Amino acid sequence: MIQKIKEHIAAVEAFNAKSQEEVEQFRIKYLGKKGLLNIFFAEFKNVPNDQKKEFGQTINQLKTKATEKVASLKVSLSSDDDTKGIYGDLTRPGEPFELGSRHPISIVKNKIIDIFSRIGFNVSEGPEIEDDWHNFTALNLPEYHPARDMQDTFFIEKDPDVLLRTHTSSVQVRYMENNKPPIRTISPGRVYRNEAISARSHCFFHQVEGLYVDKGVSFADLKQTLQYFTTEMFGKSKIRLRPSYFPFTEPSAEVDVYWGLETETDYKMTKGTGWLEIMGCGMVDPNVLKNCNIDPKIYSGFAFGMGIDRIALLLHQIPDIRMFSENDIRFLEQFKSL
């Protein structure tokens, strides 16, 4: 009988299972109420006295081996099931990941940067939380200029000297303070103004402003640069400059591009004129150069600025500026191919 139990111990040690059902059948066979262990324990009374000690030890060894085998197989098979539940059938072919898309603002901004980089403009960036000097004073805005009014500007903690920048011209001031001419840079970024939110305006939007300072820079250089930009950006080479006013440039102008009147959409966009206003520009005011420690008697320069959001609205015929900040996946997926 002892030899028979030892044979079962060897069988238990060699046993392996591929499923939880096989483990359960094994458990019932050895550890169940009608299992072999209970049968062997029932035979204990019939064993001779001189063999009872060895018999008992052998039965306990079988019980221990069977219990440990059941526990280890359950853990092993449970781990396999968890892995399969997480990863599924590992033999199946992989599924492609959904490709994302660039935001239309980023697409237009990158295109503008690429166009100006071809003619030597680098990219400069600055803080969105600015001080009065860089956002207003250095740019020749008098103390009581309307742009300083609380209805236009977001001030930080009611401190009149700390605010959210209202234009990226503040970046140009910082760049001129830290770099000597010749200067040729564009400054893209987000700006903030305390305006009512509607389909055509928002309290935050994106601008890119350009600056060129060197000896002998003229208005003709500005016009030629803008002519190049509109041709590359819109495929439209006809522009016009209308006199305007900006505190930091003199003379100043608004730039229109001739969009044409070929379709009904063109009539709607241009209000029947064929012309679209796209940016403001002008020659840098000498006072701005002085404020940035650049001698206006030696150097001159031009500056221009445009709204990236407005350009994106025009290029992609988007009817509502609020769509740029709503993160609607149905809207963003339309730009996957760009």
CB 256 within 8 A of CB 273: no
Higher pLDDT, 278 or 200: 278
**Over residues 331-336, mean pLDDT:** 86
Q: In angstroms, rounded to a whole number, what is the distance separating the alpha carbons of residues 149 and 296?
A: 30
Lowest mean pLDDT among 76-80, 201-205, 307-311, 321-325: 76-80
pLDDT value, residue 151:
61
pLDDT value, residue 171:
96
pLDDT value, residue 296:
95
Work out the burial of residue 297: count CB atoms within 10 Å of its CB; fewer than 13 is exposed, 13-18 middle, 19 or more buried: exposed
- Sign of the CA dihedral 6, 11, 14, 20? negative
pLDDT grade, residue 80 (50/70/90)?
A: low
pLDDT value, residue 218:
95
Q: Which two structure tokens, joined as six digits, stand for 307? A: 């709204």
Q: Is the pLDDT of residue 90 over 70?
A: no
**Over residues 231-246, mean pLDDT:** 92
Instruction: List pLDDT tens digits, range 255-284.
Output: 999 988 888 888 888 888 999 999 999 999
**SS3 breakdown of the chain: % helix, strand, coil, rounded to 5?**
45, 20, 30
* Strand order across the beta sheet in which 300-307 lies: 122-123, 183-192, 204-214, 300-307, 275-284, 249-258, 239-246
Element (H, E) at 334: none
Instruction: List pLDDT tens digits, range 95-129.
Output: 777 777 889 999 999 999 999 999 999 999 999 99
pLDDT value, residue 67:
85
Q: Is the pLDDT of residue 15 over 70?
A: yes
Lowest mean pLDDT among 7-16, 141-150, 166-175, 238-247: 141-150
pLDDT grade, residue 88 (50/70/90)?
A: low
pLDDT value, residue 54:
79
Q: Is the pLDDT of residue 328 over 60?
A: yes
What percent of the chain is predicted at pLDDT more than 70?
93
pLDDT value, residue 143:
78
Query: How would DSSP label each residue in 70-133?
Result: HHHHHHHHHHHHHHHHHH--TTSPPPPPPP----HHHHHHHHHHHHHHTTT-EE----SEEEHH
Lowest mean pLDDT among 15-19, 81-85, 177-181, 208-212: 81-85
Instruction: List pLDDT tens digits, range 23-58.
Output: 888 888 878 877 777 777 777 677 777 777 777 787
Q: Is the pLDDT of residue 190 over 70?
A: yes
What percent of the chain is predicted at pLDDT more than 90?
45
Lowest mean pLDDT among 47-51, 55-59, 79-83, 317-321: 79-83
pLDDT value, residue 283:
97
Domain boundaries, the chain: 2-87, 104-335
> First-to-last CA distance in the chain?
82
- Collapsing DSSP to helix, strand or coil, 203 comes out as coil
* pTM, entire model: 0.69
Distance of CA 102 to CAs 63, 179, 187, Å? 66, 33, 20
Question: Which of 149-153, 180-184, 236-240 ranks highest by mean pLDDT?
Answer: 180-184
pLDDT value, residue 178:
94
Q: Which two structure tokens, joined as six digits, stand for 160? A: 């009149």
Query: What average pLDDT is seen over the chain?
Result: 86
What's domain 104-335's superfamily in CATH? Bira Bifunctional Protein; Domain 2 (3.30.930.10)
Exposure string of 147-181, with b = 16+ CB inside 10 Å and e = fewer, is ebeeeebeeeeeeeeebbbbbbbbbbbbbbeeeeb
